[in-house]
């Protein structure tokens, strides 16, 4: 049996199926960009090229699985900004936040821009998005993505997320934080293995600082989505629990049109509040995509 992520055996349901799923390559998922086109037109144009798309959720008809496509970077539809290759679970983060057109939005860790552009699409390219990215080199692909997809309501800033200025409050905040990236690992070659590094042990401290700053930047009726692409409870439930202990925050239900497993209320010798079950865990054997965690957060009443 594959020993990878063995320490999660007691928290991941159907663990043997989970480990089997790690040997499968990632599927190709596409998001149709409604800023520039409509899904039916893209489905037909790609079908004419022998590329068949299959919808993955009734809640949002812009998300598709492309069974006969490994890469889309050479397609005209890609260059026109009609489609964007993006992990399905990554798309679900923007859907879970669900910003309204005309709202004021902050994406705290925005590069490479897929989620930012998705937020703009959901907002009908109206309102205002601050796409924040500290790394100047990562700002380049972020800008290219936003331009290709026709995003007109966003500006790029370069602050440390945990030190983002407190000058303005936001209606919606996406905190898709730096993480250990366990959910992105697939063992498609025998000699390929997931490696822990010392730097990853420092991530929870950074994540806790970011989630606190994000919450403090919310308007009174604002909402924040905290997300990672990792399985580690120290980066997920423990970080959200830290917020609940230090701010008047509450967890809100998550609705994305696909099933997910509830968040944990216990990990090792740590016990979390029962409301942590309102967070969402996505596993590759349940939904064939990147492993993901998300928590939708509002202010307490």
Which sequence positions are flagged as catalytic?
A: 229
Contact (Cβ atoms closer than 8 angstroms) between residue 183 and residue 290? yes
Q: 301: which 2 tokens?
A: 């009443």
Residue owning tokens 């609940």? 244
Task: Give DSSP secondary structure letters for 4-48.
Answer: TTGGGTTTSSSHHHHHHHTTSPPP-EEEE-TTT--HHHHHHHHHT
Q: Indicate the DSSP class of residue 117.
A: H
Consecutive H or E run containing 210: helix 203-216
Secondary-structure breakdown of the chain: helix, strand, coil percentages, each rounded to the nearest 5: 30, 20, 45
Three-class SS state of 285: coil
Residues contacting residue 269 through CB under 8 Å, at least 6 positions apart: none
Assigned token pair, 7: 């320490």
**Peptide bond preceding 112 in cis form (omega within 30 of 0):** yes
Coil vs helix vs strand at 225: strand
Q: Respond yes or no on whether the N-terminal peptide bond of residue 123 is cis (omega within 30° of 0).
A: no
């Amino acid at each position: 049996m594959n020993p990878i992520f063995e320490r999660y055996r007691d928290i991941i349901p159907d663990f043997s199926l989970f480990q089997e799923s790690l040997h499968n390559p990632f599927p190709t998922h596409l998001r149709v960009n409604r800023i520039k086109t409509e899904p039916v037109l893209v489905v037909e144009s790609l079908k004419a090229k022998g590329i068949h798309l299959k919808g993955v959720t009734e809640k949002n008809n812009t998300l598709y699985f492309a069974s006969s496509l490994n890469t889309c970077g050479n397609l005209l539809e890609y260059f026109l900004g009609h489609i964007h290759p993006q992990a399905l679970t990554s798309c679900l983060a923007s859907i879970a936040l669900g910003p309204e057109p005309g709202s004021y939005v902050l994406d705290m860790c925005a590069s490479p821009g897929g989620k930012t552009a998705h937020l703009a699409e959901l907002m009908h390219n109206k309102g205002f998005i601050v796409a924040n990215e500290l790394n100047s080199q990562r700002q380049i692909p972020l800008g290219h993505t936003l331009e290709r997809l026709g995003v007109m309501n966003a500006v790029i800033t370069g602050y440390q997320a945990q030190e983002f200025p407190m000058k303005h409050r936001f209606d919606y905040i996406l905190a898709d934080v730096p993480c250990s990236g366990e959910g992105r690992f697939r063992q498609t070659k025998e000699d390929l293995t997931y490696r822990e590094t010392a730097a990853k042990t420092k991530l929870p401290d950074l994540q806790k600082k970011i989630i606190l700053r994000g919450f403090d930047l919310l308007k009174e009726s604002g909402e924040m989505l905290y997300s990672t692409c990792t399985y580690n409870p120290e980066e997920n439930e423990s970080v959200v629990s830290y917020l609940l202990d230090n701010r008047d925050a509450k967890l809100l239900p998550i609705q994305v049109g696909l099933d997910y497993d509830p968040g944990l209320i216990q990990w090792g010798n740590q016990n979390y509040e029962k409301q942590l079950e309102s967070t969402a865990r996505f596993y590759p054997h349940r939904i064939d995509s990147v492993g993901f965690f998300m928590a939708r957060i509002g202010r307490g009443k």
